[in-house]
Amino acid sequence: MAAQNGKDLLLKLDMNGESQFETVAGLRATRMSFNAETVDVTTLDSVGGWREILGGAGVKSATISGAGVFKDDATDERARQVFFDSETPRFQIVIPDFGVVEGQFQITAIEYSGSYDGEATYEISLASAGSLLFTAL
């Protein structure tokens, strides 16, 4: 994958439960990570004392975080409501020239901050809440 513009990594939120995805407004930075827990099956008989892992077992998860400028847009209002209602709507994460990850996520944190001589900012964190679908671009 060639070098990409960071602004093209997008976090999109389903606005109405009908796959009407809109980019979360004001984001300046977005980060996504995939994780897979392992199941250790090492025994005294393991060759050379090396750890053995059971393939295909364990729990997969994904987390997303972002930071940006508060813009009082429809996506800001929707994100706040999703958090306070503990909903798990569908999100899309667009990774330029790579693909789109789509699935249910729960907003685990929203933080707002600002200084008297600057703009209001926010940080948002999400955790996967089910299986994810990857579509290559």
pTM, full prediction: 0.85
Domain boundaries, the chain: 6-35+61-136
The reported pLDDT for the residue numbered 7 is 67
| Type of residue found at 87 | E
Candidates 99, 97, 77, 81; CA nearest to 89 is 81
Residue found by looking up tokens 């090396």 in the block: 50
The reported pLDDT for the residue numbered 126 is 96
List all residues 6 or more positions away from 101 whose beta carbon is below 8 Å from its beta carbon.
32, 62, 92, 93, 95, 132, 133, 134
Candidates 62, 2, 1, 61; CA nearest to 31 is 62
Per residue of the chain (137 residues), give pLDDT as tens: 666 666 678 999 999 999 999 998 888 898 999 999 999 999 999 999 999 999 999 999 999 999 998 776 888 889 999 999 999 999 999 988 889 999 999 999 999 999 899 888 899 999 999 999 999 98
List all residues 6 or more positions away from 64 whose beta carbon is below 8 Å from its beta carbon.
11, 30, 31, 32, 91, 93, 105, 125, 126
- Domain with residues 6-35+61-136, CATH architecture: Roll (2.30)
